[in-house]
Chains A and B, each alone.
Chain A
Amino acid sequence: MEISETRLAQQGLRAQRLRMRAALTNLSRVHASAPPGQQPPAPVAVTVQATETIGADGPEYGITADMAERRDAAPRLEYDPSHPDADANGMVRYADIDPVGESIDLMSASRTYEATIRAWDVVRQSILNTLEIGK
């Protein structure tokens, strides 16, 4: 027996988990620099998309999430001549990551993660209730 709500909740939790992982990865790379001639680590981004198909008993909803490196990101330049990775002009190249944006993303992903668990628990309880008809 497949319960489409289970799959939906599971896909939703996975999407939020990926978003949290991406934000944490990026936050850990905020201060990662690269010596001249090399690229600082690329930030990762998660694309989340809602899906909808028509199943045997009504519409079935799902969520897809993919994590990929943002190749287009240009390094962030900071002036710090004493840094070992500084180039001839004293500029250091860091990964292009906005720590404030990443923290907000982390918060919103974990909020949605918890809401999905809570909502799934309510639905699960309702399914169990219908099993008690006649008892």
Chain B
Amino acid sequence: MPEAITGRSGLDALLEQARTHLDHQRLRQRVRLANIANADTPGYRAREVIESQIANDSALTRTERGHLGGEPLSALTIIERSDGQADASGNNVELDEELAGLAEVALDIRVTTRSLTNVLALYRAAATEVR
């Protein structure tokens, strides 16, 4: 069994990680939706969520088995894109790319929620089948 889900603290860490991930994905979807809704708003510049990784020092000081160590922390920034074919007004939204990106994030959210449900089912089984 993966180390991350062997104890209560492991489940907490896993849920926290999933929550952060889903928050990030929701922000990505929101930005994509804004781009699509502004596909021909004059002068609108497409926005993009970029993730920058920050080295996590806790990997070196991991003292307990249940801890999630070595996972890089990440920070999200929203930037205005300067690439892409801009129209006469300066709008550079690429509609097909935005729709594809939105679908990709939706798939990732589906995978995350499904996996989380499966993990929770394992915990539920462990908690109930001893009776």
Count A-side interface residues using an 8 Å CB cutoff. Answer: 34
CA distance A72 to B29 in the complex (A): 41
Chain A, residues 71-93, CB within 8 Å of chain B (1/0): the string is 00000000000000000000000
CA distance A61 to B27 in the complex (A): 11
Q: Are A58 and B103 in contact (CB under 8 A)?
A: no
Q: Are A135 and B30 in contact (CB under 8 A)?
A: no
Known contacts A59-B78, A132-B117; A49/B41 CB under 8 A? yes
Count B-side interface residues using an 8 Å CB cutoff. Answer: 33
Q: Are A132 and B41 in contact (CB under 8 A)?
A: no
In chain B between 72 and 131, which residues have their CB closer than 8 angstroms to a CB of chain A? 78, 95, 98-99, 102-103, 105-106, 109-110, 113, 116-117, 120
30 pairs of residues in contact across A and B, judged by CB atoms under 8 Å:
A4-B30, A5-B29, A9-B33, A11-B37, A12-B36, A48-B42, A50-B41, A63-B37, A111-B39, A111-B95, A112-B37, A115-B36, A115-B95, A116-B37, A119-B102, A120-B33, A122-B103, A122-B106, A123-B29, A123-B30, A123-B102, A123-B106, A126-B29, A126-B105, A126-B110, A130-B109, A133-B117, A133-B120, A134-B116, A134-B120
Please list the residues of chain A having a beta carbon within 8 angstroms of any beta carbon in chain B. Answer: 4-5, 8-9, 11-12, 15, 48-50, 57-59, 61, 63, 108-109, 111-112, 115-116, 118-120, 122-123, 125-126, 129-130, 132-135
